[in-house]
Amino acid sequence: MSSRIPQTFIDEVVTRTDIVELIDNHVSLKKKGKEYAACCPFHNEKTASFTVSPEKQFYHCFGCGAHGTALGFLMEYERLDFIEAVEVLAQQHGLEIPQDETNYIKNNHQNLYILLEQATIYFQKNLRHTQHAINYLKNRGVSGEIAAKYGLGYAADGFENLLKQFDCAATQEQLIEIGLIKKNDKGSLYDRFRNRIVFPIKDRRGRVIGFGGRILDDAVPKYLNSPETPVFHKSDALYGLYEARKSSNAVKSLIVVEGYMDVIALAQHGIENVVATLGTATTSQHILQLYRCTQEIVFCFDGDRAGKEAAWRAAQQTIPLFKDGLEAKFLFLPQGEDPDSLIRSRGKEIFLQYVAEGDSLSNFIFSKLSEDVDIRTPSGKARLAQIAKPLLEKFPNGVFKKLVFEDLEKKVGAPIHYGVTTTKPKNSRSSSNNKATPVRLAVAALLCQPSLALEVESISHLENCELSGVPLLIKILKTWKQEPALTHAALIERFRNQPEEQQIQKLMSWNPPELAEPKQALEDALSWIERKTQSSRVQELIDKQSTDGLTEDERQEFKNLLHQKAS
């Protein structure tokens, strides 16, 4: 459950969504009995093991174990976070997401986002009325269309322009918080960005979170970024990512460059799948964000020593996240060139040729590791194996990891024994988890036929039961007793990010023989749980009687329990 979106709204969005229709828009489904089937979109397979249940509004793959609701499918398939997935479904149904007032005040920096947007509009207005700033962009080949698309603006020269625009003490404190205003040693306030082209930096939802600025004279620094703020973190912010995603529903690849003007120049030439890190090394957070949007990352660096060192750091961050099916390439531009200068001097086709000829991740790794190793000699080959093995072992288990070690073996001419992580993947099925215990059967029976919850007269005897899984059973019973119209999918979303989330999702797709008669299965399971609870309590009272003795109430309880067992 999101801390920003009311649960009732999540229930409504999920209930309104037909998971069959949603998934069929992405994967071709075929009717198979009561369900629909297809080859799984999350792993390669020849035989369809991916099923979608219209009754439960739930999907499950018996091959890789992927499962979830409509929201879960969007998050996995389109690499969205939870809020983004809710936004997509809400938009499809013409709904506006309400804000939970309590959490809005506590967790949402809405006032900061509003102020950042107002500052963006102010900078944009400045640009429209400042001819020398317009001339600078024109001289760099930037059209008004691209400037508008990326929201470029201008921060005028002077120390108090923004201060005067937002002449309110409370607002100025927030301007300090978002890094647009600075305070000197004497306590005086002044504008951070002065005489700079301003580049708004947006998050994945299109909200402005910070700014970059390019100076128009010879002052230093040439480029200036917003500092770390409550909403802006350089380690996971990527300039141009929002615009790249907006330009295409399916981004086949994303090119990572080093500067804002590189992004703008490439966009000006029709290459819009470009993002830039913000004056910081590529981080694992950057890589994760990129792979949530595309299957291929193309790292573009200058051909000098600094560029190659930056590329190597990016490769090291990529390795642990490089699952089967993903791609990564590395390209280095000629000395003295950057994407901006290259595409303006030599054109789009030449730049795209560099992209096409970029090194694969594995080739780049072996090329880098071989720089100081003579692999023509036995000692050199042994050295390559020694330095490559621990790095390659960081790749996630899979076909690619196997193949890259085979490449290493060919290069050194000897077998390489490497470790394979035995930890089961998050979604993998486990036979022990599918054991037909009475508690699991009770939960599964309710998931098969939710109306059975209304037939359970009392759950008080379950409250003191210490059996594993009973707390989940109680939650489900209470939920469906109070909200009998709640759908399966809405129920599952109630448990998102809760300890029971994986357990309930596995039971949704579990179908043991006992569930042929859900009502009988539930009655038998509840009877067993009640007997087990009574037996445990009897033993507890017997143990106490032999040590401390029983109170009058406990003796009566003991007598009643023995009578119930006898009957």
Could you read off the pLDDT of 132-148 as tens digits, one per residue? 999 999 999 999 999 99
Q: What average pLDDT does range 500-525 have in this prediction? A: 84
pLDDT at 104: 40
Q: Are 418 and 389 in contact (CB under 8 A)?
A: yes
Return d(Cα 232, Cα 241) in angstroms, integer: 14
Is the pTM value of this prediction over 0.75? no
pLDDT at 429: 42
pLDDT at 191: 97
pLDDT band at 566 (very low <50, low <70, confident <90, very high): low
pLDDT band at 289 (very low <50, low <70, confident <90, very high): confident
pLDDT band at 552 (very low <50, low <70, confident <90, very high): confident
Q: Which has the closest alpha carbon to 235: 200, 265, 278?
A: 278
Number of other residues whose CB lies within 10 A of the CB of residue 178? 25
Report which listed range, 196-200, 422-426, 491-495, is most confident: 196-200
Residues 49-61: pLDDT tens digits?
Answer: 999 999 889 999 9
Residue 22: exposure state from Cβ atoms within 10 A (0-12, 13-18, ≥19): buried
Q: Are 122 and 153 in contact (CB under 8 A)?
A: yes
pLDDT at 328 over 60: yes
Question: Which pair of structure tokens corresponds to residue 90?
Answer: 């809400």
pLDDT at 460: 76
| Farthest CA pair distance, the chain | 96
pLDDT at 102: 45
Return d(Cα 223, Cα 173) in angstroms, integer: 24
pLDDT at 100: 57
All domains of the chain in start order, with CATH: 7-100 (3.90.580.10), 109-225 (3.90.980.10), 241-366 (3.40.1360.10), 438-566 (1.10.860.10)
Q: How many residues does the chain have?
A: 567
Q: Are 446 and 516 in contact (CB under 8 A)?
A: no
Residues 404-432: pLDDT tens digits?
Answer: 999 999 999 999 988 765 444 444 444 33
- Please state, rounded to an integer, the average pLDDT across all residues of the chain: 87
Phi-psi region of 151 (alpha: psi -120 to 50; beta: other; left: phi over 0): left
pLDDT at 564: 64
pLDDT band at 380 (very low <50, low <70, confident <90, very high): very high
The DSSP 8-state label assigned to residue 317 in this structure reads: H
Q: Are 330 and 256 in contact (CB under 8 A)?
A: no
pLDDT at 134: 98
